[in-house]
Structure 1
Amino acid sequence: MSDENPLQPPWLNAPPVDSYPYEESHDLRTGPKLHPTLDGLLPYIGVWRGRGRGGYPTIEDFDFAQEIRISHDGRPFLCYESRAWLLDEQSRPIRPAGREMGWWRPVLDGDRATNEWEALMSTPTGVMELHLGKRTGTQLEFATDAVVRTPTAKEVTAGHRLFGIVEGALLYAQEMAAVGHGLTPHLSARLIRVGG
């Protein structure tokens, strides 16, 4: 009689695996080839850093610094990572602020990208947003199609984002509907390319 348990999956006692074997890159000079459906967003790929201003009717206005990393792994989507930190009047860091992770992908017609895009964005504060939008040149405009929140997250019900590459910089403006307010300006920033 065998000592093996027929109900135990074979991977349970398998040897450890090596690190993730596929490259992801924010630099088009290295790493995998960019998927052709992403050509329209090629100027966005990179690491961006800069400053912005935020506010909302329920909070005081604030200054922040931010780093955004937009990368790819050769498949037809972009990975979007953002981290921000609050700044005092002398531009010194006060504390970490918003973080966000997401994916941008083109809507395809067969194997060709259209000017329509989808974006999934998630925050560690329990808010996930599904955005639908359009690309016009180097401008991307997204609006929420759905917002999902954990039971303890703040009430966010809608969002609108406008991204653009202007004179080599990444600019964006973000509106948010939350805690009983309709779409209201919330964040805007100008970031310069520091990598990629």
Structure 2
Amino acid sequence: MSGDTELPVPDTSDVRSGPEVSDALLSVLPLLGEWHGEGVLGGAVSGSGADVRFGQWVRFTHDGRGFLAYDSRTWRLTDDGQIVGPDVRESGFWRPRGDGDDVELLVVGADGLLELYVGSARTTTSWELATDMVARTPDAPEVTRAVRLYGIVEGALMYAVDRAVGDGPLRPTMSARLERIR
């Protein structure tokens, strides 16, 4: 298939078009769409000891079934906002569980890290998730547990990821503020 060929199945980040949104998605529906903005990678994680700026594009889509597909791409930025090159890339699925506000998040990163989070909607526009399982390839970061907080504040998607290495404490890893672009 060429890059400009339409897929034979629907996939959308816009609730106004495409398949009907499943009722199962009500607890994560505010995430649906495309988001773009900037964030900070924690100094301990960046290897430089100093915080590092990054740009980010995130997309949450659905195909009519009871989950959101998640794609995220980041790129490093200089202090004056110039693009240095590609950085962290993740894909996964947000899966509401049961009739309540419980949710699972499955995330795989190109760096060889696989994280399974469980948590719940704290409000209609915020979610708190902690790892239930972390798996990694031999050369992946030595992450043993993590917590992700997401919230929509004044129309912007804001999030923070804290991770632990070994038996160490959770440390700020990355955070961002993203504006809805679609």
Decide: shared fold, TM above 0.5.
Answer: yes
Measured against aligned partners, the alpha-carbon deviations of 1:124-180 in whole angstroms (never above 9, x if no partner) come to: 111100000010221011100000111222211111000001111000011011266
Measured against aligned partners, the alpha-carbon deviations of 1:91-110 in whole angstroms (never above 9, x if no partner) come to: 010010100001011111xx
Q: In percent, how many aligned pairs have the same letter?
A: 42
1:161 corresponding residue in structure 2: 148
Measured against aligned partners, the alpha-carbon deviations of 1:73-92 in whole angstroms (never above 9, x if no partner) come to: 00000001000001011101
Q: Which has the larger radius of gyration?
A: 1
1:79-118 to structure 2, matched below 5 A, reads 79-108=69-98, 113-118=99-104
TM-score w.r.t. length of structure 2: 0.91
User: Counterparts of 2:167 and 2:26 in 1: how far apart (Å)?
Assistant: 39
User: Counterparts of 2:131 and 2:119 in 1: how far apart (Å)?
Assistant: 9
1:55 corresponding residue in structure 2: 42
User: Counterparts of 2:78 and 2:87 in 1: how far apart (Å)?
Assistant: 13
1:6 corresponding residue in structure 2: none
User: Counterparts of 1:56 and 1:143 in 2: how far apart (Å)?
Assistant: 22
| Structure 1 residue 19: Cα displacement | 7.0
User: Counterparts of 2:16 and 2:37 in 1: how far apart (Å)?
Assistant: 23
49, 56, 67: which is aligned to 2:57? 67
5+ residue gaps in structure 1? 1-17
CA contact (8 A) 2:43 2:52 kept: no
Q: Which moved more, 1:45-54 or 1:152-161?
A: 152-161
Query: C-alpha root-mean-square deviation of aligned residues, in Å?
Result: 1.6
Q: In the comparison of the two structures, how many residue pairs are matched?
A: 174
TM-score w.r.t. length of structure 1: 0.84
Which runs of at least 4 in structure 1 moved beyond 3 Å after TM superposition?
Answer: none
User: Counterparts of 1:36 and 1:190 in 2: how far apart (Å)?
Assistant: 28
